[in-house]
Structure 1
């Protein structure tokens, strides 16, 4: 039975590098349990008994993303910034395989430049940025989308890093949010993609220097995205199937 249709809680793994809070006292004050801890708390507060949440970080063996952990994960959230290059290619291959088979992936803020996101997008995923204390307005452009449920228009984030266009990603399957900043910049800040059987959501608010992951509306978006990205069917890897010349029925036409 699909995790979306069963009574069993969604299995969520919240991953981050866990480096900034070790190296920067200000980040540690903002996120005493780590960025992963703040994201995990927001998911739990919004979804309660509907989820079972674990966290994982870069410095754990296999970055905390073993085959066993990923097999027990319906949705993975990903935050990285200063150590993308330290993420093992073997682990990236493993995460990629699980996404293609149906595991949901939520990529946050500077995770746009992670190995897993750039591989799934097939582009550089570069963008314009300005590391200043700016106000971000997150405008909903698809109010009927499940990820936008219960979200104000706009979300007002008083302190945030500026991300702006051009953002080198493929055209999103769905554009849910765009952001605007005091310098006149705009940014596609909430985008969905599908790769294989997996659903992917990129959401940009969340710099380590500001308390964005404590913002209730940002937490609501991430929780909505977790529910949206959960597998809709039993996980399976897309495969090449030889089809006989015959009426289209039976095992030969299933992917």
Structure 2
């Protein structure tokens, strides 16, 4: 398995002490460390990339060598290069898996793949979140507590402007009474996409074993099952078709 964890890394690079208190080496490092515990066989590679790197760390070579890409973003979505978004989009359609995390719902790549704004309701008041499993038969939900109890988390609520999901795996409820489709899947081209909402930067969510289990399951599910195939072939009809 070849996994790349992408993080905009803006809160950390700006010296946000709350975020650095939970993630001194960055959110990407915490997510990657959790995945390494599950993907430690010979040949498994878990790498990280950030917005600040040349080409945001997502060069053609990196994406060609990535089976599943995880994407965490929050305040720097407009700063992501359209060229890089186009590159990631092409690789997802060709079969690369994609996990979109928390505020990554507003990322350019998620909006483009879904064709919607992915807007939602939110309130950051350190409320309890219960993540309820909807489909106990799905590979992503295996071994996951039901519910996952997160003592403090940002509230995300409906309406969530996304197309009807291929699969609804998790629904969250919050102390304020709101509910939210917190775990959904899509297929675009040959690529599998899993969106999972828990993971606000102000709370140590990605250090939790139950959340790490969801992400590891998501990576396994999203990994390509066939050779990658470019879906943007150019059709060049023979002149004879037109009687020339």
Q: TM-score scaled by structure 1?
A: 0.89
**Deviations for 1:52-105, whole angstroms, at most 9, x for unmatched residues?**
100000000000000000000000000000000000000000000000000000
2:83 maps to 1:86 = no
2:154 maps to 1:157 = no
Residue in structure 2 matching 1:115, options 108, 126, 137: 108
Structure 2 residue ranges without an equivalent (≥5): 236-244
What does residue range 110-149 of structure 1 map to in structure 2 within 5 Å? Answer: 110-149=103-142
Cα distance in structure 2, aligned partners of 1:137 and 1:97: 35
Q: TM-score scaled by structure 2?
A: 0.93
What does residue range 173-184 of structure 1 map to in structure 2 within 5 Å? Answer: 173-184=166-177
2:4 maps to 1:13 = yes
SS in 1 for 2:161: coil
Paired residue total: 234
**Deviations for 1:144-195, whole angstroms, at most 9, x for unmatched residues?**
0000010010000011000000000000000010000011100000000000
Q: Which runs of 4+ in 1 moved over 2 A?
A: 238-242
Structure 1 residue ranges without an equivalent (≥5): 1-9, 243-255
- Alpha-carbon distance, 1:12 to partner: 0.2
Cα distance in structure 2, aligned partners of 1:139 and 1:48: 29
Alignment root-mean-square deviation, CA: 1.4
**Deviations for 1:2-29, whole angstroms, at most 9, x for unmatched residues?**
xxxxxxxx10000001111222011111
Matched with 1:63 is: 56
Cα distance in structure 2, aligned partners of 1:22 and 1:132: 24
- Alpha-carbon distance, 1:33 to partner: 1.2
